[in-house]
Amino acid sequence: MKNQTALMGLALRGLLGGILMGLANLVPGISGGTMLLAVGIYPLFITAVADVCTFKFNLRSLVLLGSVTFAVLVAILLGAGPIKDTVVHHRWVMYSLFIGLTLGGVPLIWKLAPERGRPFWLGSIGGFLVMLLMAVGLAEQSAGDPSYLLFFIAGLIAASAMILPGISGGYLLLLLGMYEAFLGGIHTVKLGLLGDSSRGVSPSMDLVWEAMHVVVPIGLGVVVGIAGVSNLLKWLLNRYKRATLGALFGLLLGAVIGLWPFQEGRKPELGEMLKGKVLTAENIGEVDPEDWPLVQFKPATPQVLGALALIGLGLGITYAIDRVGKRFSDDETASGESSA
C-alpha cells in the first residue's frame, strides 16, 4: 500500500513537472531541466533516463518517465499555437521576456561551479563565441527552407538543452531559425487531430501529415538527443566539470545576442526572394506573417521601459522557480535523512 501511494505521488509530480517542462520547451529562455528541478524530480528523471537507455527497467523509472513524457506532449500540443501567435504579433514583448528568462539561468550555472579557474573561463569564452557565431551565421540560414537534416540537428541540440538546468531548448530552436516553424507544425497537428470550430477547421489527417515534415525530423532528433547527447553531457560534467559548466555559462550569456527585442516582421514586396522563391502577385498573398523578414525599428520610450520591466519580470520568474526547486531539494534531503 505504501509503495502504491509512493508511486502515485511520483506520477503526480511527474505530470506536474512534465506540464511545466513542456511549456518551458516552448518558451525560449526557460529550461525544461529547471522545471523538473523546481518540482524536485530532476535527479530521479536523469536516473530514470539512464536506466532505460541501459535497458535497466524498473517500475519506478517507467512510472516517472511515462508521466513526464505524457504531460510534456500534452502541454506542447495545446500550448504551441497560442505561444506562436503571441511571438509573431507581439515580438518585442515576448523577446524582452525571453531575455530576462535566459539571463535568469546565469546564477544557476554560476552556483553549480563553486570552484572556478582557467578551465571555467576558457569554456565560458568558447561557449559565448559559439552563440555569437550562431546568432550571426544562422540569421541568413533562417531565410531559406531548412532541410530534414537541419531539422534533425535542431532537435538533437534542443534535446540536450532540455536535460540541463539553465539551458533553453526553445531558445536554440529560435536561434536556428526553426522556432516558429516547430510551433506551427505542432499547432497544425493539433488542428488535424482536434479541429477548431472557431476557425471552421474540421479534424483532418491531411493536416497531420502536412506537419510531419517538420515534427518527425525534430522529434527524432529529440529522441536521439535525450538518449545519447544527455549521456555525453553527463560524462563531460563528470570528467571536465569546470570546463563544461564554463561552456554552459558562456552559452547563456551569449544567448541574449539573438534576442534583440526591437524587431518586427516586414510585409514582403513583389519581386523579393523569400525562402528560395521570387514573390509574385499570385503567391505574395500566401506568405504567412511568421515568415515575413525581420527588421529592426527604433523603439518609443514606453517600449524601452516596458522591455526593461519585462526583462525584470523574466529574471523574477526564474529566481522564483529556482527558490521553489531549492525548497523541494531541501525537503527531500531532510526526508531522506529522517528515514535513514
What pLDDT score does 122 carry?
A: 93
Q: Which residues contact 48 (CB under 8 A, 6 or more apart)?
A: 60, 61, 62, 64, 65
Give CA separation, 205 vs 202, 308, 314, 318, in Å: 10, 44, 38, 39
What pLDDT score does 182 carry?
A: 77
Element (DSSP H or E) covering residue 55 = none
Name which of 4-8, 111-115, 171-175, 312-316 the model is least confident about: 171-175
Bridge partners of 263, per DSSP, are 296
What pLDDT score does 311 carry?
A: 92
What pLDDT score does 340 carry?
A: 47
What pLDDT score does 143 carry?
A: 47
Residue where the block lists cell 541501459: 54
**Stated length of the chain:** 340
Selected residue with higher pLDDT from 281 and 306: 306
| Contact call for residues 34 and 60 (beta carbons, < 8 A) | no
pLDDT at 29 over 60: no
**Per-residue pLDDT reduced to its tens digit, 47-62:** 787 778 777 888 888 8
112: nearest Cα among 167, 153, 70, 157: 167
CA separation for the pair 335, 123 (Å, rounded): 37
**Per-residue pLDDT reduced to its tens digit, 78-134:** 887 788 778 778 888 888 887 887 787 778 778 777 778 899 999 999 988 877 776
Q: Is 177 left (phi over 0), alpha (psi -120 to 50) or beta?
A: left
Q: Which residues contact 138 (CB under 8 A, 6 or more apart)?
A: 175, 176, 177
316: nearest Cα among 104, 127, 113: 104
CA separation for the pair 124, 100 (Å, rounded): 20
CA separation for the pair 86, 89 (Å, rounded): 5
CA separation for the pair 8, 208 (Å, rounded): 33
Average pLDDT of the chain, as a whole number: 76
DSSP state letters, 186-209: HHHHHHHHH-BGGGTBPP-HHHHH
**Sign of the C-alpha dihedral computed for residues 156, 265, 259 and 37 taken in this order:** negative
Q: How confident is the model at residue 165 (pLDDT cuts 50, 70, 90)?
A: low
What pLDDT score does 229 carry?
A: 66
320: nearest Cα among 87, 114, 100, 161: 100
**What's the grid cell of residue 141?**
540560414
What pLDDT score does 41 carry?
A: 76
Bridge partners of 296, per DSSP, are 263
